Amino acid sequence: MEHQKPWDSDQITRDYLDALLVEMRHVDAVMPSTRLELYGETFDTPIMMAALSHLHNVRDNGMVEMAMGARAANAVNWAGMGDEAELEAITATGARTIKIIKPYADNDYILGRIAHAERCGALAVGMDIDHAFGGNGQYDVVLGQEMRPKSLSELKEFIQATRLPFVIKGVLSEQDAYKALEAGAKGIVISHHHGIMNYAVPPLYLLPKIAKVVNGQIPIFVDCGIVSGMDAFKALALGADAVCVGRAIMEPLRKNGWEGVREKIQKMTEELAGAMARTCSRDLKSIDPTVIHQRKGW
């Protein structure tokens, strides 16, 4: 089917996900476990919340309700842009939360936000490096605050400033994966920030190459377009450790609050378990990448 908007990175990503086919394997199959071990803690699922922001437009107190849903599903929660009071309310739910900080021009402000996330008891902290520039090639401005690209030495400074694992979000190349490792990151998110650049490569297209670079040294997370357990299965098969889900939880959150979020996470986890059971995948680490086949045309 021809793209109505051939430049639309979200649509390109969806088309690529749908072009990946899965073979079945039944002999010697076992009941699968979706348990995720991450940063010394155990979760029931690799289906995580995305680093969303400003969910009051979806539901009153939306960020806290999302965290409550993640906590109820024993899933990892993420938090994007928001003030300190909001992060305190999020972490007070008991949700194990990864706080992502924008690449603000003021590095002292960044260091302050890192320290605050640590005081809040966050599971990890990180930065979405892909928000440095706008589409016009000028420095991005988000809610009146100027952004800047960050050098390898600056990333090292942020990473060394905290005892928390530091995650670099917005990796969409082997080059940045190498630099993330050199900086000392303890995780990366492969993402194009839901189409922040037109014609962006789908995350799963580059995932096997980036996974080869990382070689199991740090966790790899995948963002953008994950809306089902089968999408998650494909990402895990190609080298991800877990996936981030954002837009797919918006409607459940709007309709049913934290219970809707919990139900969506659990439904996607059941879909993932179904795919694992039918491919002889006993746990997340044993999903064989050779079960994935790419439809012709990609």
**Where are the domains positioned within the chain?**
11-294
Burial class of residue 39 in the structure, from the number of CB atoms within 10 Å of its CB (0-12 exposed, 13-18 middle, 19+ buried): middle
> In this structure, which CATH number among 3.20.20.70, 2.70.98.10, 3.40.630.10, 1.10.1740.10 belongs to the domain 11-294?
3.20.20.70
pLDDT of residue 297: 79
Tens of pLDDT, residue by residue over 45-58, are 999 999 999 999 99
The verdict on whether 193 is a catalytic residue reads: yes
The pTM assigned to this predicted structure is 0.97
- pLDDT reading at 185 higher than 70: yes
Q: Count Cα atoms within 13 angstroms, Cβ side, for 277.
A: 8
Share of the chain above pLDDT 70, in %: 99
Residue 159's closest CA among 137, 139, 179, 185?
A: 185
Name the active-site residue from 3, 116, 193, 194.
193
- Structure confidence at residue 296 (pLDDT): 86
Instruction: Determine the 3-state secondary structure of 221 from DSSP.
Output: strand
Question: What's the pLDDT band for 1 if we cut at 50, 70, 90?
Answer: very low
